[in-house]
């Protein structure tokens, strides 16, 4: 395969990764890493390095569009990111003591639960009945977002439980070297009871922050290969911008279906890797 053919194919896969990442709030690495390793036979370290760049591109590429449309809740994102950072430090400390294979299986099962709960939720019938948690009122986390019927308010619930979930997501990130976007969406969608578009876009916003920190480590170790990273960056950025446009047009029910399918596939992959010891 020539470098030109490799770059074009990688550009196409990266576009799809950016599109899926922007629609689900999971980041492009969910699609990109398996594609690079399985189809392009790229070393896992270089694949993860390119994935981190793709997550940053997905986050930054879609962030402006989402902020302009009033979907992303920056206050919630920054509040929850504190828990994720604390968890990531704990995970980095525990990585020498805990079996990553066991953690991967547990994570996969949590992903299955996340997919089920996300697909099951009927948010249209509950938003108007919601009451804000006292922490949400004090921290001014409640907000509004644009719908086809006009501006819709939402009221943030179960803030402490969501924060604990973010700490757990951070621990998994530190142990497994993943973004844990599915758990971040779970914390906002199932515990805070945010509209799905707000959960996905806010997740997109904060995973870029986490990825930026990790990317420096990969860069210093020489795992950012320009031949791989450049087409990935371009493709993911275009895909993320396309995803931001598509998300505004799709109903929450369809977005939940897309998220559930992607998370089920990701959960299956994590369980398989955990059981076979490929971590």
pLDDT score for 194:
92
Task: Specify the DSSP class assigned to residue 36.
Answer: I
- Give the pLDDT confidence of 25-44 residue by residue, as tens digits: 877 776 787 788 878 888 87
DSSP state of 147: E
Task: Please name which of 164, 27, 167 lies closest in space to residue 85, comparing C-alpha atoms.
Answer: 167
- Burial (Cβ within 10 Å: 0-12, 13-18, ≥19) of residue 110: buried
Q: Tell me the pTM.
A: 0.80
pLDDT single digits (tens) 196-232: 889 988 988 888 777 776 777 778 888 888 889 899 8
- What local confidence, expressed as pLDDT, does residue 77 receive? 92
**How does 225-252 read in b/e, with b if 16+ C-beta sit within 10 Å?**
beebbebbbbbbbbbbbbbbeebeeeeb
Q: Which domain holds residue 202?
A: 3-276
Residue 129 and residue 155: Cα distance in Å, rounded? Answer: 9
User: Which helix (H) or strand (E) is 152 found in, with range?
Assistant: strand 150-154
pLDDT in the model for residue 163: 94
Domain total in the chain: 1
Strand partners, 147: 150
18 has a pLDDT exceeding 90? no
**Radius of gyration of the CA atoms of the chain, in A:** 18
Q: Is 83 a residue whose pLDDT tops 60?
A: yes
At residue 178, the pLDDT reads 64
């Amino acid at each position: 395969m020539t470098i030109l053919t490799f770059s074009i194919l990688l550009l196409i896969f990266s576009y799809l990764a950016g599109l899926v990442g922007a629609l689900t709030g999971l980041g492009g690495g969910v699609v990109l890493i398996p594609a690079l390793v399985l189809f392009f036979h790229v070393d896992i370290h270089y694949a993860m390095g390119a994935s981190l760049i793709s997550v940053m591109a997905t986050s930054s590429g879609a962030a402006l569009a989402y902020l302009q449309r009033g979907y992303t809740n920056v206050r919630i994102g920054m509040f929850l990111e504190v828990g994720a950072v604390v968890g990531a430090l704990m995970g980095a400390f525990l990585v020498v003591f805990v079996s990553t294979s066991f953690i991967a299986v547990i994570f996969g099962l949590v992903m299955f639960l996340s997919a089920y709960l996300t697909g099951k939720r009927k948010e249209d019938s509950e938003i108007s009945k919601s009451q804000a948690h006292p922490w949400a009122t004090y921290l001014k986390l409640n907000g509004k977002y644009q719908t086809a019927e006009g501006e819709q308010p939402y009221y943030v619930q179960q803030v402490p439980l969501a924060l604990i979930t973010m700490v757990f997501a951070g621990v998994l990130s530190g142990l497994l070297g993943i973004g844990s976007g599915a758990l971040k969406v779970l914390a906002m969608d199932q515990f805070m009871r945010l509209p799905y578009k707000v959960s996905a876009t806010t997740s997109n916003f904060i995973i870029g922050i986490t990825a930026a920190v990790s990317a420096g480590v990969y860069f210093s170790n020489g795992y950012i290969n320009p031949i791989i990273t450049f087409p990935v960056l371009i493709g993911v950025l275009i895909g993320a911008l396309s995803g931001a446009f598509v998300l505004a047009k799709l109903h929450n029910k369809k977005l939940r279906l897309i998220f559930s399918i992607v998370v089920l596939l990701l959960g299956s992959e994590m369980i398989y890797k955990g059981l076979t010891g490929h971590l």
